[in-house]
Amino acid sequence: MNKNVSIIKTNSGNIFNVAKAFEYIGSNVQLVSSKKDLLKSDYLIFPGVGAFAEGMKALENNDLNYSIKEWANKERPFLGICLGMQLLFECSEEFGFNKGLGLIKGKVNKLPESLKLKVPNITWERLYHGSPESTCHDNKDKVFKNHDFEKDLYFVHSYACYPQNNKSWLATTKYGDHNFCSVVKENNIYGFQFHPEKSGNAGLKLLEEFLKL
Amino acid sequence: MKKPRIIARLDIKGDNVVKGIRFEGLRIMGNPNDLAKKYYFEAADEIIYIDTVASLYGRNNLVDVVKKASNSIFIPMTVGGGVRNLEDAEKLLESGADKIAVNTGIINDKSLIKKLAQKIGSQALVISIHAKYRDHSFWEVFIDNGRESTGIDLKDWLKYVEGEGAGEIFITSIDRDGTEMGMDRLLLDTVKKVVKIPVIYSGGCTGYEEIIDLVKLYDIDAVAIGSILHYKKDTIKDIKLNLKKNNILTANNL
């Protein structure tokens, strides 16, 4: 059965490729930018490219911030990608202090730049299961059912998420010696820091598993 | 350690992927979508599409090509050729491009780099440079796909574009393009010393042995390959396997 996937369309961010990836794995995609359409969806995707404050403002301008919270509270599957993941958190230090949607407890901080490491971090990297503190290898989340942890995924970002709750921190990725959260989950809400729509077959597989939730 | 990106380069003229030697004597290599798909399934890390005649005719032909590609290719795509303003760039991004490559357009309007960086973000802005060796470590910048000289010194131009917000440099040696004679190491070393942003090297690649050398000697960020892939002298999959045998990791994305 084809799944109905809605992708939140605000002014910022390129969502064309996210839509194409979901179509490729056989779902019916619609782009939503109003509260009415948003609440009709089966799966809600929130992509994002750009700056935190602008992304948040675009949501507020479209009156979507409360709709997303309403959706999330109904425990329906939600996926934030890249900036869309970062906006799920309480706040970001990007360009001063900015408030996010606050659906997940924790912070969004700039990656620690150094001589060897460049920002934005544009790279293919793998996921490590769990948070740096608890790398338990049993009880893998359902979204990783078909994921090969040896595979690399595509990242483009300058900021990264650090969930407060260890249990929400589903996967870690390395930036040099530094660890950041690459997959977050709280109840029905997921966030991917990488771009599953640009990560080849491994990315498409993760999206397929998400649509089985 | 940084993983060097192995990128497939598609120079496009009309409906075809073409390849010449030093940008001349173009031969048809195949259909853009067929070749892009082939390289995608061979584990390319990115695909670069360049419309070779866009600046000459004042338009970019690649919107439809990229739109079609985005139905079946799920890795980053950089698209360039004939980008003269913000609208051209945005149109390509809306059609499925992840990054925009600019060359002639920014020489004609030098304020465009900053405008593009602010609008689409540095991470999506690739500055394409075609350089021709003159003498005494002096390379001249060329536009219109290697047809027109500008008198601009490569080093000055690199500093300028980095300062204006370029996200990445895509440098092609005109002297080596399509020759399979080996990459211009002096050029590579020069560019690397001038800019801090990532650099994609192109022009003259002979195969995996050379890439291994370049990674070890110059710690290169990325290499863009055309000829040896189109003429089936090597595959991205084999290049990556051979790098791995030499302890050089690349993206594991097959």
Model ipTM?
0.90
B157 vs B167: CA distance, rounded Å: 14
Bridge-based pairing state of the strands A28-32 and A121-126: unpaired
> pLDDT per residue over B70-105, tens digit each?
999 999 999 998 899 999 999 999 899 999 999 989
- Residue A9 sits in a domain whose CATH number is 3.40.50.880
Q: Most B CBs within 10 Å: which of A16, A24, A114, as the mutation test of the B interface?
A: A16
Interface residues from chain B to A (CB-CB < 8 Å): 2-3, 5, 40, 43, 45, 70-72, 74-76, 93-96, 98, 121-124, 167, 196-198, 251-254
**Do B253 and A49 lie within an 8 Å CB cutoff?**
no
d(CA B223, CA B239): 11
- The token pair at B72 is 């079946």
| Inter-chain touch A150–B252, beta carbons under 8 Å | yes
Query: What are A133's two structure tokens?
Result: 């503190």
Residue A70: active-site member: no
A52 confidence band (pLDDT: 50, 70, 90): confident
- Interface touch B40/A200, C-beta < 8 Å: yes
The alpha carbon of residue A205 is apart from the nearest alpha carbon of chain B, in Å, by 12
Q: Is A195 a catalytic residue?
A: yes
**Chain position carrying tokens 């863009």:** B224
Q: Using a CB-CB distance cutoff of 8 angstroms, which residues of chain B are in contact with residue A203? A: 74
Separation between Cα atoms, residue B202 and residue A147, nearest integer Å:
34
Q: Which pLDDT value is given to residue B23?
A: 87
Mean local confidence (pLDDT), A89-104: 77
Establish whether the linkage from the previous residue to A120 is cis, with ω within 30° of 0. Answer: yes
> Does B253 contact A23 at a Cβ distance shorter than 8 Å?
no
Answer whether A199 sits within 8 Å of B253, measured CB to CB: yes
Distance from CA of A36 to the nearest CA of B (A): 25
Parallel, antiparallel, or unpaired for β B46-51 and B24-30? unpaired
Cα torsion through B116, B120, B123, B128, rounded to 10: -40
Written as six digits, the tokens of B17 are: 């992927």
Per-residue tokens: B5: 């990106």
Residue A12 in this model has a pLDDT that exceeds 60: no
Catalytic residue (one of A54, A186, A197, A208): A197
The predicted structure's pLDDT at residue A116: 73
Nearest CA in chain A to B198: A118
Residues of chain B with pLDDT under 50: none
Mean pLDDT of A171-188: 95
Q: How far is A115 from chain B (nearest CA, A)?
A: 9
Task: Name the residue facing A14 among B43, B74, B93 (closest C-beta).
Answer: B93
Domains of chain B: 5-245 (3.20.20.70)
Contact A204 B74 (CB under 8 A): yes
Do B130 and B141 contact (CB within 8 A), yes or no?
Answer: yes
Distance from the Cα of B200 to chain A's closest Cα (Å) equals: 13
How many residues comprise chain B? 254
With contacts defined as CB-CB under 8 Å, which chain B residues touch A202? 253
The contacts of residue B14 (CB under 8 Å, 6+ apart) are: B53, B61
Inter-chain touch B251–A50, beta carbons under 8 Å:
no
| Best residue in B5, B74, B162, B236 for a mutation probing chain A (most A CBs within 10 Å) | B74
| B5 contacts on A by Cβ (under 8 Å) | 124
Q: CB–CB of A151 and B121 under 8 A? A: no
Question: pLDDT (tens digit, 9 = 90+) per residue, B148-167?
Answer: 899 999 999 999 999 999 99
Does the beta-carbon distance from A152 to B94 stay under 8 Å?
no
- Verdict on whether the full-model pTM lies above 0.90: yes
**Pick the catalytic residue: A129, A147, A157, A195?**
A195
Work out the mean pLDDT of chain B and round it to a whole number: 93
Task: Output the pLDDT for position B53.
Answer: 86
* Residue B228 near residue B218, CB atoms below 8 Å: no
The secondary structure of chain B as a DSSP string is -PPPEEEEEEEEETTEEEEEETTEEEEEEE-HHHHHHHHHHTT-SEEEEEETTHHHHTS--HHHHHHHHTTT--S-EEEESS--SHHHHHHHHHTT-SEEEESHHHHH-TTHHHHHHHHH-GGGEEEEEEEEEEETTEEEEEETTTTEEEEEEHHHHHHHHHHTT--EEEEEETTTTTT-S---HHHHHHHHHH--S-EEEES----HHHHHHHHHHH--SEEEE-HHHHTTS--HHHHHHHHHHTT-------
Residues in A whose CB is inside 8 Å of some CB of B read: 14, 16-17, 20-21, 23-24, 49-50, 118, 120, 122-124, 126, 150-154, 156, 197-204
Active site (annotated) includes residue A82: yes
pLDDT above 90 (res A145): yes
- Tell me the CA distances in angstroms from A178 to A39, A66, A100, A121, one per residue in order: 38, 34, 24, 12
Residue range A45-57: mean pLDDT, rounded: 78
Query: What is the total count of domains within chain A?
Result: 1
pLDDT for residue A10: 74
Contact A17 B70 (CB under 8 A): yes
Chain B residues lying within 8 Å of A124, measured CB to CB: 3, 5, 45, 251-253
- Residue A11 banded pLDDT, cuts 50, 70, 90: low
List the Cα angle B18/B230/B23 in 5-degree steps.
40
Pick the closest to residue A173 from A87, A85, A92, A97 (CA basis).
A85
Q: Which residues constitute the domain of residue A27?
A: 4-210
